[in-house]
Amino acid sequence: MSDIEHQHQLAVDRILASHAGQPGPLLPILLEVQASLGYIPPAVVGRIAEGLNLSRADVHGVISFYHYFRQHPVGRHVVQVCRAEACQAVQCQATEAHAKQALGVDFGGTSADGTFTLEAAYCLGNCAAGPSVMVDDKLYGRVTPERLDAVLASWRQHS
Amino acid sequence: MSTRIYISRDAAAQALGADETLQALQAAAAAAGITLDVVRVGSRGMVWLEPLVEVVDGDGQRIAYGPVMAEQVPALVAAGLLQAAPHALRLGRVEELPYVAKQERLTFARVGIIDPVSIDDYLAHDGFAGLRRALSLTGAEVVQEVTDSGLRGRGGAAFPTGIKWKTVLDQQSDQKYVVCNADEGDSGTFSDRMLMEGDPLCLVEGMTIAGVAVGATQGYIYLRCEYPHAQRALEEAIAVAKARGFLGRNVCGSGKTFELEVRMGAGAYICGEETSLLESLEGKRAEVRYRPPLPAIKGLFGKPTVINNVISLASLPVILQKGGAFYRDFGMGRSRGTLPIQLAGNIKHGGLVEKAFGVTLRELLYDFGGGSASGRPIRAVQVGGPLGAYIPESQFDTPLDYEAFAAMGALVGHGGIVAFDDTADLAHMARYAMEFCAHESCGKCTPCRIGSTRGVELIDRIIEGENRAADMTQLADLCETMQHGSLCGLGGMTHFPVMSAVKHFPDDFARKR
């Protein structure tokens, strides 16, 4: 086992212990694993299954069902661009195309410098001020292609 | 002496720069030697005026300015914003603005006004009056009051809330649950989010009333993971309610127990469907359950469960405080009470409008909404989220009423209205409806799982125009199969956006491209 795998196991054990006795704990555990490791490494699936007395297939089935769970590492920041109807009504297609071009990736991809992972979102609940974009937990409204450039630049400075 | 200002912590206000505006205000006030007393409130619901800043003037009135962008702050403060002086951005008292004055705010009465996580502020604005009354009644009396109010599920299905509760009340069980469906995934809707961020204690109180009424001791709020701002507000509200004895082992000294926990979703639209939400809460793939048994009989972990939408639950405090008859006096026909309507998409004055049922689409789009944001004619609106019908201008005089909408092949749903101007291509929107269904299908029912993908291909072929007449017939057949062959509303209602687009905007499907 590599160092990093060992650290992942330790983190998962700690998270499993903190949810002991909680009814229906699988989603909270997976969310916490992803929050602390950035993704859900395939190597920890067995450990989670064992800890909850489930089969690996059960755990894998849940991870693969939900769009939010990731099985691969992502960039330092996740950029979500809303594609839903209310944003389409205010030309989010232009923002989406610009995001793909600016980051040089399609949805699901990570920019070459490892700063941003681009994802599609289906409603961020900001439907009166679209197009909407979320970077990590920070929401932005009326994101035209020009505003997107400014937003991305400010996050590049951050990191 | 310090100057009190109110500025929103609502996600939409923050998305438009409220935090940056506040920072600029603090810097400008410090430079001018003025101490600020800042209250972060929910949003008043006028999203186009965010960031909205309210300053308390010498008479104790809250005077609003908006939208106030950070870069405008130094000039505004120099012009006397902190003394409530005249300015082009000065709006006066929010209550006197027509957008707000014309509303009937029952569920949203406190949103934008109080500090969302202050128990004292909540108590000073009728907070917990409904719960106190509920605790003085029997469970059956509370359920009767809810039945009398005429409240129907605000998540979109419009099932009478009182009847659902009666079923749970009548079950004998060692454990019952109250689950709040806060998986507000419909595009064009944000009333749940605004309520949870702007008055989370109202939801806490509503769920506690439900628990007390049916004999449930544990509640869960299933919140979508796209709503981190709401999560923070709810967690804070639950903590303060617990610390002050409004939640926990001895609710308001009644000896009754009600515990509450927020559970986050993981990005699955299907979890807005109540049985898949329960599967998800149990830690499973969110596949829709067969009914019967109803969740009211065998719900979460197989126990009797009240499951209601945020707005349904948040309407209970006012219903219990003022009585079912008070609430029932608003509305029309069998649609009683008020609906928090969300104006979204291509609309000039987007935001939240709480009105009694009976208001027409035209009043909402023009009197409140001010027409399209682009200034072009509004060609279509989609009401009720991604599974709602596209409605043409000729039907804009329809009153908002569950039955009136059903009669024209549309739905009110969760009250979201997305406006599109005349540049919208409804064939593309129909295609998107199928694409969305394919993306979000849980996979249980074949017509939904496979039909949606075939639907995308069919509409692509129709747009290309090779064999249009035959493909249009097949699209209608496919929609019918999905409608009747799917367990839940995802596959079962995708025909609404698709076939309404075909019916009302046939030119978009017949055009040469």
Contact B188 A127 (CB under 8 A): yes
Q: What amino acid occupies position B503? A: K
Structure tokens at B40: 């972060």
Q: Domain residue spans in chain A?
A: 3-65, 77-158
Contact A128 B190 (CB under 8 A): yes
- Chain A nearest-CA distance from B209, in A, is 23
Structure tokens at B132: 């106190």
Query: Which of B347, B410, B351 has its CA nearest to residue B378?
Result: B347
Average pLDDT, chain B: 97
> pLDDT tier at A1 (50, 70, 90 boundaries)?
confident
Q: Tell me the chain B residues in contact with residue A142 when contact means C-beta distances shorter than 8 Å.
A: 16
- Pairwise CA distance, residues B14 & B194, whole Å: 12
Which of A48, A78, A127 would you mutate first to test chain B, the one with the most B CBs within 10 A?
Answer: A127
- Dihedral angle at the C-alpha atoms of A56, A58, A64, A70, nearest 10 degrees? -50
Does domain A77-158 correspond to CATH entry 1.20.1440.230?
no
Q: Nearest chain B residue to A26 by CA: give it.
A: B283
pTM of the model: 0.97
User: What are all long-range contacts of B500-503, with beta carbons under 8 Å and residues at least 24 apart?
Assistant: B500/B389, B500/B390, B500/B391, B500/B409, B500/B410, B501/B390, B501/B426, B501/B427, B501/B429, B501/B430, B501/B433, B502/B430, B502/B472, B502/B475, B502/B476, B503/B409
Contact A123 B421 (CB under 8 A): no
pLDDT on residue B467 = 94
Taking the CA atoms of chain A, what radius of gyration do you get in angstroms?
A: 18
pLDDT digits (tens, 9 = 90+) for A132-146: 999 999 999 999 999
For residue B53, list its beta bridge partners.
Answer: B7, B65
DSSP B406-474: HHTT---TT-EEEEEETT--HHHHHHHHHHHHHHH--S-SHHHHTHHHHHHHHHHHHHHTSSHHHHHHH
CATH class of B119-327: alpha beta
- Return the percentage of chain B with pLDDT > 90, whole number: 99
Asked whether the predicted pLDDT for residue B370 surpasses 90, the reply is: yes
pLDDT on residue B482 = 98
Asked whether the predicted pLDDT for residue B1 surpasses 80, the reply is: no
- Chain B nearest-CA distance from A64, in A, is 9
pLDDT digits (tens, 9 = 90+) for B221-257: 999 999 999 999 999 999 999 999 999 999 999 999 9
Contact A127 B269 (CB under 8 A): no
Asked whether the predicted pLDDT for residue B24 surpasses 90, the reply is: yes
Structure tokens at A38: 């950035």
Query: Which of B484, B476, B490, B398 has its CA nearest to residue B443?
Result: B490
> pLDDT tier at B392 (50, 70, 90 boundaries)?
very high
Cis peptide before B447 (omega within 30 of 0): no
Asked whether the predicted pLDDT for residue B101 surpasses 90, the reply is: yes
Contact A128 B432 (CB under 8 A): no
Query: Which of B184, B221, B217, B216 has its CA nearest to residue B200?
Result: B221
ipTM for this prediction? 0.97
pLDDT digits (tens, 9 = 90+) for B39-50: 999 999 999 999
B388 near B496, Cβ under 8 Å? yes
Asked whether the predicted pLDDT for residue B498 surpasses 90, the reply is: yes
Q: Nearest chain A residue to B192 by CA: give it.
A: A125
Residue B319 exposure: Cα atoms within 13 Å on the Cβ side: 31
CATH number for the region B426-510 comes to 1.20.1440.230
Closest in A31, A85, A86 to B266, CB measured: A31
Closest in A80, A89, A128 to B47, CB measured: A128
Query: Which positions ≥6 away from B265 have C-beta within 8 Å?
Result: A27, A66, A68, B183, B222, B223, B224, B225, B271, B280
Asked whether the predicted pLDDT for residue B12 surpasses 80, the reply is: yes
Strand B305-309 with B177-182, pairing: parallel
Q: Domain residue spans in chain B?
A: 2-99, 119-327, 330-421, 426-510
* The listed CATH number (3.30.1490.480, 3.40.50.300, 3.40.50.1370, 3.40.30.10) that belongs to domain B2-99: 3.40.30.10
Closest in B48, B185, B229 to A123, CB measured: B185
For tokens 């409530």, what's the residue?
A: B84
pLDDT on residue A158 = 77
- Pairwise CA distance, residues B349 & B368, whole Å: 7
Fold exhibited by the domain B330-421: Ubiquitin-like (UB roll) (3.10.20)
